[in-house]
Amino acid sequence: MENLRPVDVICQHSIDGTIIPLRIRIVDEDGLRQAFSIKEYRDLSHQGTRTMPDGVYVTDNTLVFECKIVVIDRERIVRLYYNPREIVWKMTG
């Protein structure tokens, strides 16, 4: 299981209630904040209670997004998790 890391997420909240992740910001190993634009995403939310492939247990209320970002000219897939009870975004990948 990969570790969940807290992450800042900038989202678009649409009039129909959907949430679209646009950017993430993480603190790297040197303590510097790095920002990345989300190139593509897939909404994996509201599919029932389950354990995700990266070992994270989610409920039907958890927002889950599989996102593609570019880090040093390489595409990378990360998963974003938002639990409304905790009011914090977390990331694996």
Overall average pLDDT of the 2-31 stretch: 91
Does residue 2 register a pLDDT over 80?
no
pLDDT in tens, 43-80: 999 999 999 999 999 999 999 999 999 988 999 999 99
CA distances from 31 to 2, 27, 34, 79 (A): 20, 5, 9, 21
Does residue 1 register a pLDDT over 80?
no
